[in-house]
Structure 1
Amino acid sequence: MEDRMLQIAPNERREILIAYSKLLRASSGILKWEDVKQIRKAIELSLDKVGLERSPSGKLSVLHSLEVGRIAVEEIGLGRTSLICALLYEVLRRSGASVEEIKQQFGEQVANIMDGLIKVFDLYQRNASIQSENFRKLLLTFAQDVRVILIIIADRLQTMRSLDLYNPELQLSISSEVSYLYAPMAHRLGLYTIKSEMEDLVMKYTNRDMYKFIAKKLNETKRARDKYIKEFIAPIQSELEENDLKFDIKGRTKTIHSIYNKMKKQKVEFEQVYDLFAIRVILDSELKSEKADCWKVYSIVADKYQPNPSRMRDWLSIPKSNGYESLHTTVLGPENKWVEVQIRTRRMDEVAERGLAAHWKYKGVKGDQGLDHWLANIREILENPELNAVDFIDDFKLNLYDEEVFVFTPKGDLIRLPKGATVLDFAFDIHSEVGKKCIGARVNQKNVSIRHVLQNGDQVEITTASNQAPKQDWLNVVVTSKAKTKLKQALREIQYKESELGREMLIRRLKNWKLDINDQLTGLLVKHFKYKSTNDFFRDIGIEKLDVVAIREFIQQQQKKETEREQNEIAQGVRSAGNFVSPQPEESEHSGDDVLLIDKNLTNVDYKLAKCCNPIFGDDVFGFVSVSGGIRIHRTNCPNATEMRTKFSYRIVKAQWTGEAAGNYLTAIKVIGEDDIGIVSNISQIISKELKLKMRSINVDSKEGLFEGTVSVFVNNNQILNTLIKKVREIRGVLSVSRIDAIG
């Protein structure tokens, strides 16, 4: 170990020693002397096997491993086994070390987790695109031992924290993957702090301007916000002390990502987002008196400030399925500002911050079964061999960010379902056979259809019929991944039976007409009758949607053409089909790492500017190969960029503008300001007279003393657009100006 350390630059040696010290401090409460020796052995193995190798950020791999290990212990709350696995992850990724070698040195438990980690790495090596059959295997590995995903989440978090050291292309790729999969997964596993940090960091690299804007605004308003929090807390703190409660009380600013989501959802500017922060009361309570103490605090808060009944959230009585317990209320504070107050105990706060690790630490506390049930459900879905990963990924994500409703069986058993779940979802949750035969239900003693959306507290009794069968439109009725998966499986079984029936029917009828069918002829028939697959073709014969007589006529025509062709070949001495060699397909012009250069006329390749983000000359862009074969040019911060990069990374093409800016690009800006009759005239004057731009349209809507306008203009490049935004922003009475992605 000492020899290896001497080969490392002095400043990096110091970094490694600091990271090692931090790791030991973070894990001091869970380690014995034997464990420390194991950790030293893991670091020595890392230095021996990967030595001076570096991650794409330029950091030494061993330093990255130490930082991941600290996150696993300190921020996720994992134990010694997971810590050793986190330290060894880079060793397996970057060296020839085997799982068997790890087993001999560190034991079977470490080896089992490492086996899961290396499977994940192998999947990424084969196909980095998430939307593939590999994704199912990836999640199956996670579900078998959830420590695998927790270590991967720690690894991804550390990567995101050092993402400024990566090149721009990798920044976008990694951010997209984290946004698409790992932030939602962290949320579902109860790791709220990590999920929030991931979302903020993703935004920092995918929507830089908005991130900087909100961060600057938060910094400017910090002093006033801190003063308000102090004033709000003071009377509550005094009352809690008088009631002999042991507590901590603090205010925390909401994340940049959550503030941006509120701005988008509520369609307001930063200044109009009222709940920029939340107050949290954390109690030191005995387990048996936790709920009573929380409600006592609620009573004190409600006495001091008027609560908003519609914003009350009780996760004490029935915790979320990821173990989250808390009492949330929104009250009217000083200066008539709404403030969110969260009330929980120390144990509940640890579960909220640490998620899964704390969930297992407090095993046996009511509410801990939800996460186990979710993981078991995921295993059941994933282990279905007929599952199509392309269909599964979107269904799976539905259940990552779910809000929940709680409903009851006739016997009083509690069933958790995502918000928006229907009677049919409930039926499939009980059993797939119940779902297939479902014709409706009695909800609270009233008859309802399978489409009925369930509400909190409903008592549900499913009604079935033996002659009922699943239907295609049921896929629009269900929302849970379990119901969708089971339903698709049932529909495939029905379609397969209909397809086999159609195949037998066609063979029998053709035999009567003394005609034969083979695979080549079947392919021609599928193409001629415009079907997507042979199964669809045979199925339509089975359900008598396709006339067999039309098939007979086509086969007879093909036979006639074949006979004529053979006669012509014999007459002309044409080479036989056996000597014919099909031409090799041309190599795709988009293969490799070439950059697609976009010229001013956009004529050198078949591509168009995407309507969802309307790129203009000068914007950072990329190409996306569409199903039709053409290429769509998107901005790198296009609203759809994350999904395209994660689901279809193999269709992404590097692109950049070339030559001089020329031609007109349609774009639009949104202007919000005080409702002044002269403001529209001033905007028009800047566009037409000062900048000499062609304006296509301007739409203005006034409400409560404010106007909101949308202006569509033609510009040569993004510099002119930025100049326009700057000049309009300087107009007196204008509150905000922003570029619009999609133009109607």
Structure 2
Amino acid sequence: MLTIETVLDKVLAYNATANFDIIKKAYIFSREAHCSQRRIEGSPYIRHPLAVADTLADMKLDSATIAAGLLHDTVEDTGISANDIKALFGQEIAFLVDAVTKLSKVEFKTKEEAQAENFRKMLLAMSKDVRVILIKFADRLHNMRTLEHLAPEKQRRIAQETLDIYAPLANRLGIGWLRIEFEDLSFRVLMPDLYAELVEKVAKRREENEAYINEIIQLFYDRFGKAGIPAKIKGRVKHYYSIYQKMIRQKVPFEQVHDVIGIRIITDTLAHCYDILGIIHSLWPLVPGRFKDFISLPKSNMYQSLHTTVMGPSGERVEFQIRTKEMDAIAEEGIAAHWRYKEKDRTDKKNEQQVKWLRDLVKEISDAKEFLEAVKGEVVPDTVYVFTPGGDIKELPLDSTPVDFAYSIHSAVGDKCVGAKVNGRMVPLRYKLASGDVVEIVTSPNQTPSKDWLKFVVTQRAKSKIRQWTRAEERAKGIELGTRLLEDELRRHGLPISATLKSEKMEEVVKAYTLQSLEDLFVQIGYGKISAHQIVNRFMPERGHEEAQQAARPAKPARESKSSVITITGIDNVLYRLGKCCMPVPGDKVIGFITRGKGVTIHRADCRNVERMAEPNSRHIDVDWMEDAEGTSTTRIYIEALDKPGMLANLSAFISSENVNISSVKANSTHDKRAFIELALEVKNRSQLLSIMNKIRQMDGVLAVRR
């Protein structure tokens, strides 16, 4: 059974000067704090923090980290306060415990903005002190090892979190052994049948594989001995999740998966690494495209090694990894290796570089969901290495483009990017970069980001910056349109524009819609979420009687007013109104209906209500538009489009460019990402209206336009 003495012996083995007293004190405090608690399976709770401390000791971490590991659940579970920890153990340990406590509350339900924001705060704490995530790694590892005691649904949720977030993050921080265990433990829970099948098949081939590995190892010991090269050689069958991924990528069953055997050779010097590579290639042919020099071009997680795959004995593919002892420590322990023996001096330039990518993300991306996606994007291991004209190396995800490269330099370079030269020749912005490319970005002060770039960029940094710019641009258009619609509506009802917008009543209206500012209200009106008519109604309490008042008002007498646009055959000075159901405009074929007490109502000849108008107490008459009609008429058009950002703003910008006023907007969307937009337009005549409708039909994302 694991005891505190076991942990202390591990610490003593790698650091005789550690603060053993603080570790013992933390253990006793944690044991007392958790004395009444039990784990789900019934064991004393202290076994969990002890297991966490044991893993941290395996990582050879400092005393403060191990003490914090012992204390990490005390604040959350026992009523102990952060101030209590600070008073008893000091600021450093208190900070680590507090950060891990907050981290323990995070469940990675990425659809929930609050959870994404918690994750962002957690990684912000990690960017300040990476030991926070190392403690959480140890905590998650013990929980994964004892996952069988939880309900199946909770097991799957935790396993999926581990596979999606913790395993890639461990890889990004260079802790290879931890990534492997996270992946295999998650795989066992998420796909138990496939996992069991793989375990059985690997076990059946174990004896055969071990014999094959031992044959290769013995061959190399003989060769290296003759060449005077000191080396330690280890052989292994790749872990289960890695084999499963190969099956998926290659679309083959286990029996047809190649290079499941890996040989690791650890030597003393850099020169001997390349000597060993030469010996391997002299024995067996290289598999094309499978040599990678991560010594000359280290991975972003500081990983260094030579990788090569050859057709080994009996035609079997074998992967070799060649590295020095120091490189092997970094490959296995990653950033944790930089915390060895650092009881006092914790400044480390390599350690700083390890979390710089994360610190940059925290600074640059404020949107919580985008940040979480950015972190996921950053931890993807497949990369290309490209160069600036000055010779600096940039590490980018596979399939990155010049736009991704530009944003990796600076957001201002990305925003102004108009072209790129790769290896001295111009290439399209969607060109996929390859390792070794020299990339030069061409910029223009007049350039702005394009939404089309989102179709081909792959880095989350580029995506986030482009989205930020397009959101700001769409918001500006929304404010402009919303302001114009509201001002027009206020003007139409004779309300003072400036005084109304600055009034306390308007502040109340903004709050009533749970908005933060008048600008937000303009945006909502511009996007069609709120109508200007709704807002103006709040300033006119008597509007409840509007329909009755309108009915009592006299209709327009034909040919009396300069605004009259209808002529009625054989009759002068007849009251008329334009039908609200079809909203005719000059140039439409129209028909008039005389209804007792209401005068003449003008409808389009193709109006669906015309047949219903032929009532016993109404009759139709011939009407036509005046040839010299001036002014504008209001009509409605209905647009079906793809529900995507900026659609409404683009429509309003186009209509405005045609010198046509929008008097009202209504919009809604469906679950299948379609938008239905109703626009009330003030047009001169049918010809102008049809021209606008035809141009709208040509717009990207528009599916249909009708009246």
Question: What does residue range 496-515 of structure 1 map to in structure 2 within 5 Å?
Answer: 496-514=475-493
Q: Check conservation: 1:30, 1:80, Cα contact below 8 A.
A: no
- Residues 367-397 of structure 1 show CA distances to partners (whole Å, capped at 9, x for unaligned) of x97774462232233245x722223322321
Instruction: Select the residue among 72, 90, 94 that pairs with 1:111.
Output: 94
Structure 1 partner of 2:313 = 334
1:353 partnered with 2:353: no
Change (3 A) 1:360 1:34: closer
| Counterparts in 2 of 1:125 and 1:551: CA distance versus 1, 3 Å | closer
Q: Which residue of 1 aligns with 2:285?
A: 306
| Helix, strand or coil at the partner of 2:12 | coil
Question: What letter corresponds to residue 189 of structure 2 in structure 1?
Answer: Y
2:184 is aligned with 1:200: yes
Measured at CA, do residues 34 and 148 of structure 1 come closer, stay the same or move farther in structure 2, by a change above 3 Å?
Answer: closer
1:177 corresponds to which residue?
Answer: 161
* Separation in structure 2 between the aligned mates of residue 306 and residue 64 of structure 1, nearest angstrom: 50
Check conservation: 1:496, 1:535, Cα contact below 8 A.
no
Question: Equivalent of 1:232, from 212, 216, 232?
Answer: 216
Q: Deviations over 1:457-512 (max 9, x none)?
A: 22222111122112222222322222222222222222222222223322332343
The 1:131–1:459 alpha-carbon spacing in structure 2 relative to 1, beyond 3 Å, is: same
Q: Is residue 2:443 matched to residue 1:464?
A: yes
Residue 100 of structure 1 is aligned with which of 62, 83, 94? 83
The separation in 1 between residues aligned to 2:243 and 2:352, in whole angstroms, is 32
Tell me the distance in 2 between the aligned counterparts of 1:278 and 1:166.
Answer: 35
- Residue 133 of structure 1 and its aligned partner are, at CA, apart by 2.2
Rounded Cα–Cα distance in structure 2 between residues aligned with 1:402 and 1:491: 29
Do the aligned partners of residues 473 and 515 (structure 1) sit closer, same or farther apart at CA in structure 2, a change above 3 Å counting?
farther
Structure 1 residue 85 and structure 2 residue 64: aligned? no
Shift of 1:166: 2.5
Offset of residue 551 of structure 1: 6.9
- What amino acid sits opposite 1:465 in the alignment? S
1:185 partner amino acid = L
TM-score scaled by length of structure 2: 0.69
- The alignment status of 1:445 with 2:445, answered yes or no, reads no
What secondary structure is seen at the aligned counterpart in 2 of 1:339? strand
Secondary structure of 2:379's counterpart equals coil
In structure 2, stretches of 5+ residues that fail to align are: 343-347, 501-505, 514-519, 551-669, 673-707
Letter paired with 1:111: A
What is the alpha-carbon distance in structure 2 between the residues aligned to residue 85 and residue 210 of structure 1? 38
Which residue of the partner structure matches residue 246 of structure 1? 230
1:11-35 Cα shifts (integer Å, max 9, x gaps): xxxx3xx432321222113555772
Please, what is the CA RMSD of the aligned residues? Answer: 3.5
C-alpha distance in structure 1 between counterparts of 2:60 and 2:494, whole Å: 71
Taking a change above 3 Å as real, the CA distance of residues 291 and 33 of structure 1, as seen in their structure-2 partners, is closer
* Equivalent residues in 2 for 1:502-651, closer than 5 Å: 502-514=481-493, 538-539=525-526, 562-563=544-545
Aligned: 1:160 with 2:152: no
Measured in 1, the distance between the counterparts of 2:15 and 2:38 equals 29
CA contact (8 A) 1:322 1:371 kept: no
How far did 1:99 drift?
A: 2.1
Q: Which residue of the partner structure matches residue 132 of structure 2? A: 148
Partner of 1:63: 47
Deviation of 1:156 after TM superposition, in Å, equals: 0.4
Rate the CA distance shift 1:374–1:84 in 2: closer, same or farther, 3 A: closer
Match of 2:199 in 1: 215
2:88 partner letter:
Q
Q: How does 1:19-38 map to 2 (within 5 A)?
A: 19-32=3-16, 35-38=19-22
Note the alpha carbon deviations across 1:131-166, whole angstroms, 9 max, x for none: 532222122122221110111011101111112233
Provide the rounded CA distance (Å) in 2 between the counterparts of 1:267 and 1:134.
38
Distance 1:19 1:414 in 2: 47
Instruction: Read off the aligned partner of 2:232 and give its amino acid letter.
Output: D
Match for residue 45 of structure 1 among 18, 29, 36: 29
Per the alignment, residue 380 of structure 2 pairs with 401
Match of 1:132 in 2: 116
CA distance in 2, matches of 1:111, 1:519: 45
Distance 1:362 1:495, change over 3 A: farther
Q: Deviations over 1:227-255 (max 9, x none)?
A: 11122222222001111222111211111
Report the CA distance shift for 1:93/1:342 in structure 2 as closer, same or farther (over 3 A): same
- Residue of structure 1 equivalent to 2:618: none
CA distance in 2, matches of 1:467, 1:340: 50
Instruction: Say whether 1:413 aligns with 2:392.
Output: yes
* 8 Å CA contact retained: 2:361, 2:374: no
Between the two proteins, what is the percent identity of the paired residues? 34
- The one-character-per-residue Cα deviations of 1:397-419 (angstroms, maximum 9, x if unpaired) are 11112322222222222222222
After TM superposition, give the deviation of residue 540 of structure 1 in Å.
5.9
Mapped partners of 1:413, 1:628: distance in 2: 47
Retained in 2: the 8 A contact 1:424–1:438?
yes
Structure 1 partner of 2:582: none
Unaligned runs of 5+ in 1: 1-14, 526-532, 569-626, 630-744
2:365 corresponds to 1:381: no
Give the whole-Å Cα distance in 2 for the aligned partners of 1:83 and 1:178: 22
Does structure 1 residue 291 correspond to structure 2 residue 270?
yes
Shift in CA distance, 190/313, structure 1 to aligned 2, threshold 3 Å: same
**Are 2:187 and 1:187 aligned?**
no
Aligned length: 532
Amino acid paired to 2:86: K
| 1:323/1:359 contact within 8 Å kept | no
Q: Separation in 1 of the partners of 2:508 and 2:451?
A: 30
In structure 1, how many angstroms separate the alpha carbons of the residues matched to 2:384 and 2:312? 30
- 1:120–1:141 Cα contact (<8 Å) kept: no
Q: Is the 8 A contact 2:103 2:119 kept in 1?
A: no
1:453-492 correspondence runs (5 A): 453-492=432-471
C-alpha distance in structure 2 between counterparts of 1:359 and 1:33, whole Å: 17
Q: Is the 8 A contact 1:324 1:352 kept in 2?
A: yes
Contact 2:50 2:70 in 1 (8 A): yes
Matched residue SS, 2:13: coil
- Rounded to whole Å, the distance in 2 between the matches of 1:497 and 1:145 is 39
* CA contact 1:191–1:354 (8 Å) conserved in 2: yes
Paired residue type of 2:220: I
Measured after TM superposition, the shift of residue 217 of structure 1 is 0.8
Q: Is contact 1:325–1:344 with CA below 8 Å preserved after alignment? A: yes
The residue that corresponds to 1:669 in the other structure is: none
Offset from partner CA, 1:276-315 (integer Å, 9 cap, x none): 22011111x1xxxx32110100111111222223111110
Cα distance per residue 1:604-631 (max 9 Å; x no partner): xxxxxxxxxxxxxxxxxxxxxxx969xx
Q: Give the drift of 1:564.
A: 5.5
Please give the alpha-carbon distance, in whole angstroms, between the structure 2 residues aligned to 1:159 and 1:100. 27
Q: Does the 8 A contact of 1:326 with 1:343 survive in 2?
A: yes
- State the SS of the aligned residue for 2:471: helix
Say whether the 8 Å CA contact 2:490–2:536 is kept in structure 1: no
Mapped to 2, the partners of 1:271 and 1:406 lie a distance apart of: 34
